[in-house]
Amino acid sequence: VHYADFGGGSAQARGSLNLSCSAPGSNSGEYAVGWFRHAPGKGRGGLAAIRRDGVTYYADSFKGRFTISQDFAKSRMYLQMDNLKPEDTGMYYCAAGLFRLVPSNWADEGLYNTWGQGTQVTVSS
């Protein structure tokens, strides 16, 4: 199952973009949602994740700039990106899985079993 990612595009440095992902939610307390980025010349890495109960985790580089949220009533997940930098350019993916999200595993791609198709974000200086 692949989710649809929306909201990518181009932005100027210090601008903002809001990404969203259409994905069915789950009432399971083990449900986890994350956002990942594949930057040019680099591997894919975790940006942020959120648990069913609202607990969030962020990679240090994105704390204070990116905000992950979810709206289960609308089956949507979001990533608000502020103060964008050119190095934020890349392909962004949402992902979901049924596992207990904790600090030690939130960025482990192998635990997420469903992925969005990706949306491109380009930030110019």
Q: What is the pLDDT of residue 31?
A: 82
The answer to whether the CB of 87 falls within 8 A of the CB of 16 is no
Q: What is the pLDDT of residue 1?
A: 47
Q: What is the pLDDT of residue 4?
A: 65
Q: What is the pLDDT of residue 26?
A: 64
- Per-residue pLDDT 10s for the chain (125 aa) are 456 677 778 899 999 999 998 866 666 667 889 999 999 999 999 999 998 888 999 999 999 999 999 887 787 889 999 999 999 999 999 998 888 999 999 999 999 988 888 899 999 99
The answer to whether the CB of 69 falls within 8 A of the CB of 81 is no
> How many whole angstroms separate alpha carbon 63 and alpha carbon 10?
21
